[in-house]
Structure 1
Amino acid sequence: MRIIRFSNEQSVPVLAAITLESKVYSLPQTDFLELVKQAAEQQQTPLSLIQEIIADSQPIEKNVEELSLLTPIDAPEVWAAGVTYERSRDARNYEATGGKLDATTFYDKVYHAERPEIFFKATAARTVGPQDDVYLRSDSHWQIPEPELGLVINKDGKILGYTIGNDMSCRDIEGENPLYLPQAKIWKNSCSIGPAILLAEAVEDAYQFDIVCRIFRDGEKVVEGTANTRQLKRKFDELISYLMKDNEIFDGTVLLTGTCIVPPNEFSLSDGDYVEIEITGIGTLKNPVKLPSSKSIAFS
């Protein structure tokens, strides 16, 4: 069972469930966390509560492709783990050494260390949803999407569901100096999540998700890469435990688990590109790429 949010004809956010038959049912709750809370209060799982609700209702007339989708949750914070896949380690080494192949750096140490790399990625205000623009950073010339499985967790670290994340990254800024990581990772519209949350209880093995990333330019596919979460070096519980060490997290926090798909080294995103990230059972997160004017990215 997947959970989405969409904007109805009155521009009001609606929570909905998508069944295995791809039928969409509106839910009475206002957001995903209210659904989880109500299920707990009634000593039910979210899945059983949804099944109870939709048993006596009819699906909406539109299919999910016709809806104006929003982020499936307004995550108060989005965090991310780095160098969790071998491919990511190799790409970071390439950046840090000015393009040397098979180079080794401190990223190898992080890859093998007991402590994982975890960094802050975004707030709700910096996070966009399906079909929203992701922004290019104006002071970078080597930018890529990073397709990642996202864990939706509560304040106790329990995994409530799985979503898709695009951790937009500046390879040149991070490669110049690792101390520049926040600038290489955080700016307005530098993170997208969606299109849905796949309930954790509906997943038999979270280490068997197939991930596909496609990048289009002028209508032509210019990059395509695939991966599977079984290639992860670290387990989800391990990443969550380090996120929570002496740290307060909030219900609805999203933890991105790292990328295993990196475009060719000579590739950089351009204004007008289009990114698709597909993960088995969750859906496809689609975002246009835009280089905004300095005025349009200023915070109000």
Structure 2
Amino acid sequence: MGDRHYPDGTLLGRARVPGFDHPRIVTVRNNELIDITAAGFALVRDIAESGRAAEHVRTAPGVGLGNVDAVLANSVAADHDPAKPSLLSPIDLQAIKASGVTFVVSLLERVIEEQARGDKARADALRGEILELIGMDLSELVPGSETAMKVKEALIAKGVWSQYLEVGIGPDAEIFTKGQPMSSVGYGAEVGLHPISSWNNPEPEVALLVTSTGEIIGATLGNDVNLRDVEGRSALLLGKAKDNNASASLGPFIRLFDGDFTLETVKQSEIALRVEGQDGFVLEGHSSMNQISRTPESLVAATVGGHHQYPDGLVLYLGTMFAPVKDRDGVGKGFTHKLGDVVSISTFELGTLSNSVNLSTKCPPWIYGASHLLRDLAKASLL
């Protein structure tokens, strides 16, 4: 990939293009962004459901929109020129789902969030107490196993019971709705924090593109923006902590599975995170997908099947093992975002997703929904 923000491979995305009311379907060929919008394939949803998504994207005729790097640069909110093409989130009608506490090694931080009840100062002390109590490497635990149940029982006996223990090491995965279809933002856009939050963080993740039949056909990068103080106060506040204006970012493109890129490739991905603040603060971290406690296939099976259908397919965030604890404003105060932070999430296989941080009330409001998209496509005779 080199220094590029996008990988080689069969790439599928969406772009805002001057002169068109509706988003355009795009791919990348020879470092150029290509518009492949056509009747019958004017939705990412329809391409995904076609049964031949990768083949279609590779062979569809198209029109050049310019150098990809130039389009990426114009997609950055602060530098955006509406007279030029820019990227959008690479999905449209798909449901936006997410899985939580899928890395047992991140379970500790979730328990701390809840036990600290949003108090950053108390988190460090709790971290030490719980580690001493457990006395083992959490990465060795297999959710639902006999050993995992013994650890859970020991924590309960000591009064450190948590909702996160059940979904982290119990038999059932946590699956929740991250946002409504059409609500996600793409590369370069601002991501939103609810203004009530004073303790929050990015969650760098791989997200899978899944069809209505449950077939996994591609992957992209995602930032599952999280309000640690809100979620820590009560698990019942998960919706408020997770689903706010511009709180779900995806991109830059979906990379579709083909002969060179498969789900097995995703399972070995190394995800790098970098947060750069206007105050000079830099936070770096990484997640190793091979440390995931629940397989991607099992998470998809827990989401879609006989118990729940998604006729337009879905995208599923797979969770993260990274919980930032680096002090930002003083010893023991931990990490939280500041407005203007630039969050970059990268893998060799999927490129780089970069967004700047703002309040959800200050990010551009979400005003273009599924009804607007379908009406615009109908007017253009593309449905």
Cα distance in 1 for residues equivalent to 2:244 and 2:98: 14
Question: 1:63-142, aligned counterparts within 5 Å?
Answer: 63-66=68-71, 67-98=85-116, 99=123, 100-102=126-128, 103=130, 104=155, 105-106=161-162, 107-142=164-199
Cα distance in 2 for residues equivalent to 1:6 and 1:297: 18
Report the alpha carbon displacement of residue 60 of structure 1 after superposing the two structures with TM: 4.7
Cα distance in 2 for residues equivalent to 1:213 and 1:294: 24
* 1:182 aligns to 2:208 (yes or no): no
Residues 73 and 252 in structure 1, CA contact (< 8 A), matched pair in contact too:
no
Say if 1:81 and 1:34 are closer, same or farther in 2 by CA, change over 3 A.
same
* 1:140 alignment partner, SS class: coil
Residues 2 and 282 in structure 1, CA contact (< 8 A), matched pair in contact too:
no
Question: 1:164-179, aligned counterparts within 5 Å?
Answer: 164-179=221-236
Alignment length, in residue pairs? Answer: 292
1:218-248 CA-to-partner distances (Å, cap 9, x unmatched) read: 1745111112211111111111111125212
Partner of 1:288: 356
Residues 126 and 187 in structure 1, CA contact (< 8 A), matched pair in contact too:
no
Say if 1:191 and 1:4 are closer, same or farther in 2 by CA, change over 3 A.
same
* 1:161 alignment partner, SS class: strand
RMSD over aligned Cα, in angstroms? Answer: 2.6
Residues 191 and 363 in structure 2, CA contact (< 8 A), matched pair in contact too:
no
Cα distance in 1 for residues equivalent to 2:363 and 2:255: 37
Report the alpha carbon displacement of residue 123 of structure 1 after superposing the two structures with TM: 0.7
Report the alpha carbon displacement of residue 28 of structure 1 after superposing the two structures with TM: 3.5
Partner of 1:203: 261
* 1:24 aligns to 2:33 (yes or no): yes
**2:278 corresponds to which letter in structure 1?**
D
Say if 1:252 and 1:280 are closer, same or farther in 2 by CA, change over 3 A.
farther
**1:17 corresponds to which letter in structure 2?**
T
Report the alpha carbon displacement of residue 124 of structure 1 after superposing the two structures with TM: 2.8
Q: Which consecutive residues of structure 2, in runs of 5 or more, have no partner in the other structure?
A: 1-9, 72-84, 117-122, 131-154, 156-160, 327-333, 369-383
Report the alpha carbon displacement of residue 295 of structure 1 after superposing the two structures with TM: 11
Range 81-90 or range 213-222, more displaced? 213-222
Say if 1:28 and 1:172 are closer, same or farther in 2 by CA, change over 3 A.
closer
Question: 1:135-174, aligned counterparts within 5 Å?
Answer: 135-174=192-231
**1:164 corresponds to which letter in structure 2?**
L
Range 258-267 or range 152-161, more displaced? 258-267
Partner of 2:145: none
Residues 154 and 251 in structure 1, CA contact (< 8 A), matched pair in contact too:
yes
Cα distance in 2 for residues equivalent to 1:293 and 1:240: 32
Cα distance in 1 for residues equivalent to 2:58 and 2:34: 10
Partner of 1:192: 249
Report the alpha carbon displacement of residue 46 of structure 1 after superposing the two structures with TM: 2.5
Cα distance in 2 for residues equivalent to 1:296 and 1:52: 35
Partner of 1:9: 18
Say if 1:295 and 1:77 are closer, same or farther in 2 by CA, change over 3 A.
closer
Cα distance in 1 for residues equivalent to 2:198 and 2:353: 24
* 2:127 alignment partner, SS class: coil
Report the alpha carbon displacement of residue 269 of structure 1 after superposing the two structures with TM: 0.8
Report the alpha carbon displacement of residue 294 of structure 1 after superposing the two structures with TM: 7.8
Say if 1:197 and 1:299 are closer, same or farther in 2 by CA, change over 3 A.
closer
Range 116-125 or range 105-114, more displaced? 105-114
* 1:278 aligns to 2:346 (yes or no): yes
**1:237 corresponds to which letter in structure 2?**
E
* 1:49 aligns to 2:52 (yes or no): no
Say if 1:51 and 1:138 are closer, same or farther in 2 by CA, change over 3 A.
closer
**1:269 corresponds to which letter in structure 2?**
H
Report the alpha carbon displacement of residue 195 of structure 1 after superposing the two structures with TM: 1.0
Report the alpha carbon displacement of residue 160 of structure 1 after superposing the two structures with TM: 1.9
Report the alpha carbon displacement of residue 144 of structure 1 after superposing the two structures with TM: 0.7
Cα distance in 1 for residues equivalent to 2:299 and 2:66: 41
Say if 1:189 and 1:51 are closer, same or farther in 2 by CA, change over 3 A.
closer
Range 2-11 or range 225-234, more displaced? 2-11
1:170-208 CA-to-partner distances (Å, cap 9, x unmatched) read: 111111222222221111211111110010234232201
Report the alpha carbon displacement of residue 33 of structure 1 after superposing the two structures with TM: 2.6
Partner of 1:260: 321
Scaled by the length of structure 1, the TM-score of the pair is 0.87
Structure with the largest fraction of strand? 1
Scaled by the length of structure 2, the TM-score of the pair is 0.69
* 1:18 alignment partner, SS class: strand
Within the candidate set 298, 314, 324, 1:238 is matched to 298
Range 71-80 or range 6-15, more displaced? 6-15
Report the alpha carbon displacement of residue 69 of structure 1 after superposing the two structures with TM: 0.4
- % of aligned pairs identical? 27
* 1:214 alignment partner, SS class: strand
Q: Which consecutive residues of structure 1, in runs of 5 or more, have no partner in the other structure?
A: none
Report the alpha carbon displacement of residue 36 of structure 1 after superposing the two structures with TM: 3.5
Structure with the largest fraction of helix? 2
Residues 214 and 221 in structure 1, CA contact (< 8 A), matched pair in contact too:
no
**1:268 corresponds to which letter in structure 2?**
T
Say if 1:237 and 1:296 are closer, same or farther in 2 by CA, change over 3 A.
closer
Report the alpha carbon displacement of residue 257 of structure 1 after superposing the two structures with TM: 0.5
